[in-house]
C-alpha cells in the first residue's frame, strides 16, 4: 500500500514535516539552527524521472550559511566588479585574450592608445588600451609600463655629472703628466671633472725636465703641483727624480707600466694581453709589430694611439693602477 505522502504527492499538495532532524541534516547544522519549527516541503516532479520525490526547502540558519556560503545577492551587487590592473609587458611574455572576439595573442607593441597582439600563427590585431582583456581567465585592464627611474648622469670617470656646469676659472694649481698620450687619455676620462674643478693638465715631454719645471712653478699652499709619471717603480730613474722634487706642495705619483698604453685594458681592444717586448727595443714599435699593426714610422704610432684611444669610453676601460693615481692628484690639487 502506498503511503499517504506518496498519494498527496500525486495530488501536488504540500506536506508539513517536523523539525530539521527529520530532513537528514548533519548534527553540526542541526545543533546550530534555532528552535525546531515546522518546515514546509514542496513536492516537485523531477525532470526525466518516472516517479516523484520530496525536495526539501533550504534551512537558512547559521550552520547552513557556513556550509553553502552567503547569498550571492547580498551587499551592493549592482556595483561593477573592480578589475585588476596588469602592466603591459612589451617583451611578448604577456598573453591576452579579447573576450569579445576570442582572439588570443602576446603583446608586441603599445602605441597611440592601442595594444597590438600576435597569435601563435603570426596574425596580428590591435585593440584599445582601455579595453577589458582576460589573463588566465581573469578580467583585467591594462596600463602603460611605468617609466624606469632615470639613473643620475655620470661622467666618463664615474663622477656625478653636473648639468649645464660652466667651466671654472683655472686654479693656480696644475697637474703634469709625462707625455701627450697621457694628457689625451686623462682628458678623455677626467675632462668633465677637471673643467668643473678648474684644473689644467699639461704634459712634460719627458720626466727628465721635472726638476726644472717644479722650480719654475714655485709651488705653495695655494699653488699645488701634482705629477703623473710612467713606470714609477723602485730603483728606476723615474723614482729617483720623483724623490728629488717631492714636497708638501708637490705630489708625484705614477703607475707601473712602461707606457701609458698599457694602462688601457687589453680587453677593451679585443686582445687578451699586451705583447711582451724584449728590452732594448722601442716598446711602442714592438707592440705594433706583435699586433700586426703598421709600425714603419711615427705616423703609424700616432695612428695606433688614436685607434687605442677610440676604444676607451670610460674609467671601466682603464687599469685600477692608473685610476687611483689620477683621482689622488685631482684631490691633492683641489684641496683647500
Higher pLDDT, 166 or 24: 166
Strand 114-118 versus strand 52-55 pairing type: unpaired
Helix residue ranges, H only, 22-163: 27-32, 62-68
pLDDT tier for residue 267 given thresholds of 50, 70 and 90:
very high
Whether residue 207 is predicted with pLDDT greater than 80 in this model: the reply is: yes
Q: How many independent structural domains does the chain possess? A: 3
Same domain, 103 and 210: no
Helix (H) or strand (E) holding 20: none
**pLDDT above 50: residue 39:** no
Q: How confident is the model at residue 82 (pLDDT cuts 50, 70, 90)?
A: low
d(CA 289, CA 325): 30
Mean local confidence (pLDDT), 288-293: 96
Q: Which of 56-60, 172-176, 179-183, 281-285 has the lowest mean pLDDT?
A: 56-60
Give Cβ neighbours of residue 194 (< 8 Å, ≥ 6 apart). Answer: 175, 186, 187, 200, 201, 330
Residues whose CB falls within 8 Å of the CB of residue 262, separated by 6 or more in sequence, listed in order: 274, 319
**Mean pLDDT along residues 184-196:** 94
* Non-local CB neighbours of 169 within 8 Å, separated by 6+ positions: 198
Task: Say if residue 186 is in the same domain as residue 243.
Answer: yes
Q: Is residue 129 part of a domain?
A: yes
| 191 and 94 part of one domain | no
Give residue 87's pLDDT: 57
Q: Rounded to a whole number, what is the distance in angstroms from the first to the last CA of the chain?
A: 118
Distance, in Å, from the CA atom of 158 to the CA atom of 336, rounded to the nearest integer, reads: 23
| pLDDT of res. 281 | 87
Do 234 and 182 lie in a common domain? yes
Q: Is residue 75 part of a domain?
A: no
In the listed set 126, 143, 160, which residue is the last one of a domain according to the structure?
143
Arithmetic mean of pLDDT, 252-265: 95
Residue 36 lies in a domain: yes
| pTM score, whole prediction | 0.56
Please give the Cα distance from 197 to 225 (Å, whole number).
15
The reply to whether 276 falls in a domain is no
Q: Same domain for 122 and 186?
A: no
Q: Are residues 223 and 319 in the same domain?
A: yes
Percent of the chain whose pLDDT exceeds 70: 69
Could you tell me if residue 302 is inside a domain?
Answer: no
Residue 279 lies in a domain: no
Distances (CA, A) of 19 to 15, 31, 35, 53: 13, 12, 9, 19
Paired strand residues for 86: 142
On whether both 253 and 320 belong to a single domain, the answer is: yes
Residue 254 lies in a domain: yes
* Residues 198 and 236 occupy one common structural domain: yes
Q: Answer yes or no: do 10 and 125 share one domain.
A: no
Query: How far does CA 8 lie from the centroid of its chain?
Result: 77
The residue to which cell 537558512 is assigned: 60
* Segment among 109-113, 189-193, 282-286, 306-310 with least mean pLDDT: 109-113
Strand arrangement, sheet containing 114-118: 84-87, 138-143, 133-135, 95-97, 104-111, 114-118, 124-128
**pLDDT surpassing 70 at residue 43:** no
Average confidence score pLDDT of the chain: 78
How many CA atoms lie less than 13 Å away from 21 in the CB half-sphere? 6
Element (H, E) at 119: none
Mark whether 102 and 212 lie in a shared domain. Answer: no
Q: Is 92 left (phi over 0), alpha (psi -120 to 50) or beta?
A: left
| Of the candidates 96, 99, 88, 25, the residue with the CA atom closest to the CA atom of residue 62 | 25
pLDDT band at 128 (very low <50, low <70, confident <90, very high): confident
- Specify if 272 maps to a domain: no
> Does the pLDDT value for residue 183 go beyond 50?
yes
pLDDT on residue 280: 84
How many other CB atoms sit within 10 Å of the CB of residue 252? 24
Same domain flag for 330 and 240: yes
Domain of 106? 84-143
Last residue of a domain, one of 143, 163, 187: 143
Amino acid at each position: 500500500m502506498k503511503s499517504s505522502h506518496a498519494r498527496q504527492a500525486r495530488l501536488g499538495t504540500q506536506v508539513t514535516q517536523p523539525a530539521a532532524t527529520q530532513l537528514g541534516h548533519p548534527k553540526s547544522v542541526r545543533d546550530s539552527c534555532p528552535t525546531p519549527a515546522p518546515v514546509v516541503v514542496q513536492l516537485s516532479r523531477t525532470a526525466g524521472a518516472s516517479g516523484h520525490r520530496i525536495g526539501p526547502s533550504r534551512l537558512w540558519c547559521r550552520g547552513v550559511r557556513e556550509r553553502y556560503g552567503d547569498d550571492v545577492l547580498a551587499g551592493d551587487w549592482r556595483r561593477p566588479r573592480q578589475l585588476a590592473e596588469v602592466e603591459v609587458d612589451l617583451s611578448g611574455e604577456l598573453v591576452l585574450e579579447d573576450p569579445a572576439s576570442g582572439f588570443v595573442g602576446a603583446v608586441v607593441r603599445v602605441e597611440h592608445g592601442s595594444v597590438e597582439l600576435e597569435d601563435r600563427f603570426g596574425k596580428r590585431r590591435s585593440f584599445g588600451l582601455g579595453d577589458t582583456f582576460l589573463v588566465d581567465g581573469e578580467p583585467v585592464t591594462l596600463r602603460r609600463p611605468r617609466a624606469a627611474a632615470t639613473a643620475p648622469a655620470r661622467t666618463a670617470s664615474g663622477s656625478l655629472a653636473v648639468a649645464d656646469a660652466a667651466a671654472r676659472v683655472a686654479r693656480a694649481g696644475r697637474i703634469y703628466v709625462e707625455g701627450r698620450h697621457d694628457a689625451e687619455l686623462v682628458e678623455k676620462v677626467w675632462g668633465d671633472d677637471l673643467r668643473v674643478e678648474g684644473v689644467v693638465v699639461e704634459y712634460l715631454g719627458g720626466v727628465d725636465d721635472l726638476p726644472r719645471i717644479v722650480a719654475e712653478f714655485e709651488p705653495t699652499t695655494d699653488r699645488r703641483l701634482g705629477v703623473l709619471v710612467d713606470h714609477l717603480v723602485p730603483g728606476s730613474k723615474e723614482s729617483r727624480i720623483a724623490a728629488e722634487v717631492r714636497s708638501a706642495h708637490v705630489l708625484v705619483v705614477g703607475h707601473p707600466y712602461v707606457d701609458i698604453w698599457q694602462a688601457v685594458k687589453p680587453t677593451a681592444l679585443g686582445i687578451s694581453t699586451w705583447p711582451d717586448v724584449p728590452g732594448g727595443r722601442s716598446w711602442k714599435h714592438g707592440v705594433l709589430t706583435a699586433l700586426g699593426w703598421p709600425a714603419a714610422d711615427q705616423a703609424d704610432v700616432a695612428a695606433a694611439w688614436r685607434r687605442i684611444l677610440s676604444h676607451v669610453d670610460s674609467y671601466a676601460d682603464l687599469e685600477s693602477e692608473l685610476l687611483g693615481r689620477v683621482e689622488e692628484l685631482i684631490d691633492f690639487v683641489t684641496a683647500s
